Amino acid sequence: MVRNNICLNSHPAGCAENVRGQIEYTEKTLKKVKGQTPELTLIIGCSNGYGLASRIAAAFGYRAATVGVSYEKPPTENRTGTPGYYHNLAFDQEAAGSSLIYKTLDGDAFSNEMKKLSAEAARSAAAEMMILPKIDLIIYSLASPVRTDPETGVVYKSVIKPIGKSISGKTVNIMDGSFQIVEMESASEDEINNTVKVMGGEDFALWIEALNNEKLLSPKTRVIAYTYIGPEHTWSIYKNGTIGRAKDDLEKTVRAINQKYTEKGLIAGAWVSVNKALVTRSSAVIPVIPLYVSCLFRVMKEMNLHEGCIEQITRLYRDRLYKEKSCNSAEPETVPVDENGRIRMDDWEMRDDVQALVVEKMNAVTPENILETTDLTGFRNDFLAAHGFGIDSVNY
């Protein structure tokens, strides 16, 4: 059931296959290194996309105990559960079958109560692992349109809008390939501020403060928040829009966390990881992005550079966070970063030769040649698979 690039239902068997496929890839790609790779991880936003991949990679690659936090809806008589509900269920089943230690918490990650429950779950997992109650890896991968401030009770809603001036852009219906010109009015100051409140760094800072108060941080703790920048032709709606303003606030917060907690020896470091453009439940509804990503997929697959969520995250762990020289917690500066201190997992996407070919395809695409020019089929397949549909091994 797809309306305006939004899928309204999900399939439990397909979601389970999605999880199993990522587990299989992880087990071939990562291996535990005693004393170097994480033993206890917390994933805030664990049920879909990069957050789900981050949990799978830590658990099935490094045999780490995982505490996962998400807010999902179970099925009712009239409606399926959300994809994340079935992803969590499948993860739990697979983890239990592999004798892994896991705690899956469902509720509002913005609330003080969930932060407290997560701390208790981390201590419980550590006790089962017979290790010190210290979290080695914290991943922040929340994607929510609404946030209730835990202190004031005020509800903030985010918007996807440009800033400064209205724009129009070409986007594509991923199901039938038709083009549309989308007009977007500029955001008001209140809308900008509300989006920063929901998607910025305030909640992340509260998480780290809460975990520190619970004495769950250590000199081995690595802290990661995910972001996206993209090429200049997407900036009007993304980097220079309300989302970009919120992500700038998130980056500023991560730098402040890094300075505050590393100086006191409480963590190894805090980084922003700039990830590749991929098909997620949210990216499909951002104007311009589906067309850009469809062209990008075509180019990167032809150049043998394409990655999905699990390929991207296993590379983050293997080649950045836990590569041989960066595993020593006393030398976190050996984690490869750019001039702004960011981990660049979008390095292949942003290569000059890749972007030149993407622009060429975006300029050449028409409704008549879209299937030949772009990888709209691949975009559609990934979009459906994220909801448990279109997976060959499932007898629907």
State pLDDT tens for residues 149-170: 999 999 999 998 999 988 877 7
The amino acid present at 292, given as its one-letter code, is Y
pLDDT tens per residue across span 4-19:
777 889 999 999 999 9
Read off the pLDDT of each residue in 95-114 and give the average, rounded to a whole number.
Answer: 97
Q: Compare 37 and 34 and report the one with higher pLDDT.
A: 37
Q: How far apart are CA 111 and CA 119, in angstroms?
A: 13
Q: What is the pLDDT of residue 326?
A: 53
Read off the pLDDT of each residue in 91-99 and give the average, rounded to a whole number.
Answer: 98
Q: What is the pLDDT of residue 276?
A: 93
Q: Compare 182 and 147 and report the one with higher pLDDT.
A: 147
Q: Compare 323 and 320 and report the one with higher pLDDT.
A: 320
Q: What is the pLDDT of residue 328?
A: 53
Q: Which position has the token pair 């300029």? A: 363
Read off the pLDDT of each residue in 292-310 and give the average, rounded to a whole number.
Answer: 94
Of 71, 72, 25, 51, the residue nearest 275 (C-alpha): 51
Q: Compare 147 and 179 and report the one with higher pLDDT.
A: 147
Read off the pLDDT of each residue in 246-258 and give the average, rounded to a whole number.
Answer: 96
Read off the pLDDT of each residue in 317-327 and give the average, rounded to a whole number.
Answer: 80
Read off the pLDDT of each residue in 317-339 and give the average, rounded to a whole number.
Answer: 75
Distances (CA, A) of 25 to 28, 57, 60: 5, 9, 10
Q: How far apart are CA 36 and CA 256, in angstroms?
A: 25
Q: Which of 9-23, 195-209, 324-338 has the lowest mean pLDDT?
A: 324-338
Of 2, 6, 16, the residue nearest 395 (C-alpha): 16
| Main-chain phi, psi angles of 97, to 5 degrees | -70, -20
Three-state secondary structure readout of 118-182: HHHHHHHHHHHHCCCCCCCEEEECCCCCEEECCCCCCEEECCCCECCCCEEEEEECCCCCCEEEE
What radius of gyration do the chain's Cα atoms show? 20
Q: Report helix angle 242-263 to 202-213, nearest 10.
A: 20
Of 286, 336, 364, 366, the residue nearest 6 (C-alpha): 286
pLDDT tens per residue across span 351-381:
999 999 999 998 898 888 988 899 989 988 9
How does strand 146-148 pair with strand 155-157? antiparallel
| Main-chain phi, psi angles of 335, to 5 degrees | -65, 125
Among 1.10.10.10, 3.30.420.10, 2.70.98.40, 3.40.50.720, what is the CATH number of 2-159+188-288+308-347?
A: 3.40.50.720
Q: What is the pLDDT of residue 283?
A: 64
pLDDT at 294 over 60: yes
Catalytically active residues, by annotation: 238
H or E element in which residue 7 lies: strand 6-7
Read off the pLDDT of each residue in 239-243 and give the average, rounded to a whole number.
Answer: 90
Q: How confident is the model at residue 314 (pLDDT cuts 50, 70, 90)?
A: very high
Give the chain's count of helices (H) and strands (E).
13, 13
Q: How confident is the model at residue 180 (pLDDT cuts 50, 70, 90)?
A: confident
Q: What is the DSSP letter of 287?
A: T
Of 219, 241, 220, 221, the residue nearest 230 (C-alpha): 241
Residues 6+ apart with CB under 8 A from 57: 26, 30, 310, 313, 314, 317
Q: Compare 142 and 34 and report the one with higher pLDDT.
A: 142
Distances (CA, A) of 164 to 159, 167, 187: 14, 10, 7
Q: What is the pLDDT of residue 202?
A: 97
Which residues pair with residue 344 across a beta bridge? 274
- The pLDDT mean for the chain works out to 92
Residues 6+ apart with CB under 8 A from 243: 158, 160, 195, 199, 237, 286
Q: How confident is the model at residue 338 (pLDDT cuts 50, 70, 90)?
A: very high
Q: What is the pLDDT of residue 332?
A: 55
pLDDT at 100 over 50: yes
Residue 141 neighbours by CB distance under 10 Å: 25
Of 16, 41, 90, the residue nearest 218 (C-alpha): 41
Whether 220 contacts 329, CB under 8 Å:
yes
Q: What is the pLDDT of residue 330?
A: 47
Q: Is 284 left (phi over 0), alpha (psi -120 to 50) or beta?
A: alpha
Residue 14 neighbours by CB distance under 10 Å: 22
